[in-house]
Chain A
Amino acid sequence: MADLPVSTAGLRKVYGGSTALEGLDLEVRPGEVVGLLGANGAGKTTTVKILLGLVAATAGEASLFGRGVGDPEARRQVGYLPEHFRFPDWLTGAELLDYHGRLAGMPAAERRGRIPEVLERVGLAGRGNQRLRSYSKGMTQRVGLAQAVFAHPRLVLLDEPTSALDPIGRREVRDLIRDLREDGVAVLLNSHLLGEVELVCDRVAIVDRGRVVRAGRLDTMVGAGTQIRVRLDRVDERALALLGGFGEVVAVDDTTVVLTAEGSDPAAEVAAELVRAGYGLQALIPVHRSLEDIFVGLVSGSAG
């Protein structure tokens, strides 16, 4: 427990009068890719900044590899790509990487060898001697990623890493994240792009107004709680009570009931029960919920 790459408990942050985090609990285990999913302003960036000691939590606890986030040593094995990555633009790409390697305590010889390796990995091979001010937006994002993975981190924090990239760039970032996972590196990925998270994350924590409203493995979260849409000749109290026995009724009108059913596939049972009770069953459609449905269902009401 103590040495988890990321561990927070009851993290709370109040900026002036407004609450950014309201008791956030989060864990990231080694070799795990966790997506922190939420609308803009949900508290994702604040969470990452607290983990890096850039922002002080109002209350609660946070640690990296078992060290409190107030200790600079906690960041020894961490790579970070800020949402808006900025850098001294008079440096070249290679100089930037060398500088970050030095800050991370890498010896000079190791840095020299690592620079071309990492530049190649992020698709910037041969661009290392170009000044950063001449880089395009996409190249900037790539060199930011290179900087984050440069010093062999065991935890990488990525804040909206694909926001400036085209579809090919996004795919490359996903590949990079998968490579990191294979090497046993933990990744915390902040994103509001659901598809992005769905494609690459092992676990997802959905954040809304400063708390985790749902967290779990992506496969169980998306698979569990299958929705069934039932159309009947009539909908009355008895039908609702009957359907209520299978799960939670989430929507009702004159002829249609939508319920979230537990279990793997209750559709057949639901159909049999309804017919036995004398209802005219017109349609029964299992609806596989996507992450987006879950997300929208949980985060409803908060403006983007």
Chain B
Amino acid sequence: MSALPITRLSVKEAVSRRLLLAGVLLSLAFLVLFALGFNALYSRASEAGQGETALAGGIMTILGLYIVQFLIAFLALFLATGAVSSEVDSGTLHAILARPLSRRSWLGQRWLAFAGTIAVYAVLMAGILLMIARVIAGYGAVAPLRAISLLVLEGLVLLSLGFLGSTLWSTLANGAVAFSLFGMAWLAGIIEFAGEMVGNDLMRNIGIAVSLLVPSDALWRGAAYYLQSPAFLAVSAVDDAGGAGPFGGSAPPSAALIGWSIAYVVLLLAVAARRFAHRDL
């Protein structure tokens, strides 16, 4: 039972923070609100006809998961931004690293704890939301497991980004940088979508370049594609825009995107471990 003591403590820490408790309550409130709103809108759409119900169910589900995606991202960024720096600044780390424990191991175990927290949160939130859509509207996503996996991967990408920053900068500076990068990726996703619409290569390339730097939004679009129902796909294919508009996804994620995202996590963690190993505390 003495395996991974840092992971155990970090999970305990995440759970014991009041912030997280508030987060859980708000998340539950969001799910209830979603269920009520979805029910109201869906019953109105079902009066209008078959095509309308498929469209309404699809849009509502994807927008609901779009909010969930933000919640996952915020959780990842909040956990990550002070993951290392706040421990160093507060001085709690000194007594711990004086034990026969390498810094690499400490960092890895802490990352694992937060990654687990994010994964559990993502699976629960997205799973419950899809369940609500299924019960109310009989909505079934094309590939829910793939979609949820991509949401988890997005969380891990942002977690690793915040982790690296946390070994380089103060908590506050890192928070500003990490949230800006996340915002930038989101904006670039919209620019890329607009580029697709008007056929502008420059706008498309900006989106792709930013996705390489921070693949979070691209992963969301991949997840959003898999979250559509077959009926929704059929209806939305009639529109030029495709998918759920500027916030959704019109194509399945490429293998290159998934590969790069996994490599991105590993790479960022490796750099973080390297930076942290040689730092004076």
Chain A residues within 8 Å of B, Cβ to Cβ: 15, 49, 52-56, 72-76, 78, 80-82, 84-88, 90, 99-100, 102-105, 107-108, 144, 147, 157
User: How far in angstroms is the closest Cβ of chain A from B24?
Assistant: 17
CA distance in complex: A74, B100 (Å): 7
Contact B16 A90 (CB under 8 A): yes
Chain B residues positioned under 8 Å from A108 (CB to CB): 1-2
Contact A80 B95 (CB under 8 A): yes
Chain A residues positioned under 8 Å from B98 (CB to CB): 52, 54, 75, 78, 80, 82, 157
Chain B residues positioned under 8 Å from A87 (CB to CB): 92, 95
CA distance in complex: A232, B214 (Å): 85
Output the nearest chain B residue to A103 by Cβ-Cβ distance.
B99
Say yes or no: A53-B97 contact (C-beta < 8 A), given A15-B280, A86-B90, A86-B92. yes
Say yes or no: A73-B100 contact (C-beta < 8 A), given A54-B280, A54-B281, A108-B2. yes
Contact B280 A72 (CB under 8 A): no
Chain B residues positioned under 8 Å from A84 (CB to CB): 91
Chain A residues positioned under 8 Å from B92 (CB to CB): 86-88
Centre residue among B1, B2, B9, B98 by max chain A CB count within 10 A: B98
Chain B residues positioned under 8 Å from A86 (CB to CB): 90-92, 94-95
CA distance in complex: A264, B112 (Å): 66
CA distance in complex: A74, B96 (Å): 14
User: How far in angstroms is the closest Cβ of chain A from B96?
Assistant: 7
Q: Enumerate 30 A-B pairs (CB-CB under 8 Å) in ascending A order.
A: A49-B94, A52-B94, A52-B97, A53-B97, A54-B94, A54-B97, A54-B98, A55-B280, A56-B278, A72-B100, A75-B98, A75-B99, A76-B100, A86-B90, A86-B91, A86-B94, A87-B95, A88-B13, A88-B92, A102-B5, A103-B5, A103-B96, A103-B99, A103-B100, A103-B101, A104-B100, A105-B2, A105-B100, A107-B2, A157-B98
Output the nearest chain A residue to B281 by Cβ-Cβ distance.
A54
Chain B residues positioned under 8 Å from A53 (CB to CB): 97
CA distance in complex: A73, B101 (Å): 8
User: How far in angstroms is the closest Cβ of chain A from B197?
Assistant: 51
Q: B160-197 CB contact bits vs A (8 Å, 1 = yes)?
A: 00000000000000000000000000000000000000
User: How far in angstroms is the closest Cβ of chain A from B8?
Assistant: 9
CA distance in complex: A54, B97 (Å): 7
CA distance in complex: A55, B97 (Å): 11
Output the nearest chain B residue to A96 by Cβ-Cβ distance.
B95
Contact A90 B13 (CB under 8 A): yes
Contact A100 B94 (CB under 8 A): no
User: How far in angstroms is the closest Cβ of chain B from A69?
Assistant: 11
Chain A residues positioned under 8 Å from B91 (CB to CB): 82, 84-86
User: How far in angstroms is the closest Cβ of chain A from B205?
Assistant: 42
Q: B92-132 CB contact bits vs A (8 Å, 1 = yes)?
A: 10111111111000000000000000000000000000000
Q: How many contacting A-B pairs (Cβ < 8 A)?
A: 71
Count of chain B residues near A, Cβ 8 A: 21
Q: Given A86-B92, A102-B5, A108-B1, list of 13 further CB < 8 A pairs?
A: A54-B281, A72-B101, A75-B99, A82-B95, A85-B95, A88-B9, A88-B13, A90-B13, A90-B16, A99-B5, A105-B2, A108-B2, A147-B95
CA distance in complex: A144, B96 (Å): 12
Contact A55 B95 (CB under 8 A): no
Contact A75 B5 (CB under 8 A): no
CA distance in complex: A272, B95 (Å): 60
User: How far in angstroms is the closest Cβ of chain A from B81?
Assistant: 18
User: How far in angstroms is the closest Cβ of chain A from B52?
Assistant: 51
Output the nearest chain B residue to A108 by Cβ-Cβ distance.
B1
Centre residue among A15, A105, A157 by max chain B CB count within 10 A: A105
Centre residue among A85, A103, A108 by max chain B CB count within 10 A: A103
Contact B94 A82 (CB under 8 A): yes
User: How far in angstroms is the closest Cβ of chain B from A102?
Assistant: 5
CA distance in complex: A67, B1 (Å): 28
B245-281 CB contacts (< 8 Å) to partner A: 278, 280-281
User: How far in angstroms is the closest Cβ of chain B from A189?
Assistant: 16
Out of B1, B9, B100, name the residue touching A99 (CB < 8 Å). B9
Output the nearest chain A residue to B90 by Cβ-Cβ distance.
A86
Chain B residues positioned under 8 Å from A103 (CB to CB): 5, 96, 99-101
User: How far in angstroms is the closest Cβ of chain A from B128?
Assistant: 28
CA distance in complex: A103, B280 (Å): 21
User: How far in angstroms is the closest Cβ of chain B from A68?
Assistant: 13
CA distance in complex: A178, B280 (Å): 32
User: How far in angstroms is the closest Cβ of chain B from A43?
Assistant: 14
Chain A residues positioned under 8 Å from B5 (CB to CB): 99, 102-103
Chain B residues positioned under 8 Å from A15 (CB to CB): 280
CA distance in complex: A56, B99 (Å): 16
CA distance in complex: A107, B1 (Å): 9
CA distance in complex: A104, B102 (Å): 12
Chain A residues positioned under 8 Å from B95 (CB to CB): 80-82, 85-87, 100, 144, 147
User: How far in angstroms is the closest Cβ of chain B from A2?
Assistant: 19
Out of A72, A88, A105, name the residue touching B102 (CB < 8 Å). A72
Output the nearest chain B residue to A15 by Cβ-Cβ distance.
B280
CA distance in complex: A90, B14 (Å): 11
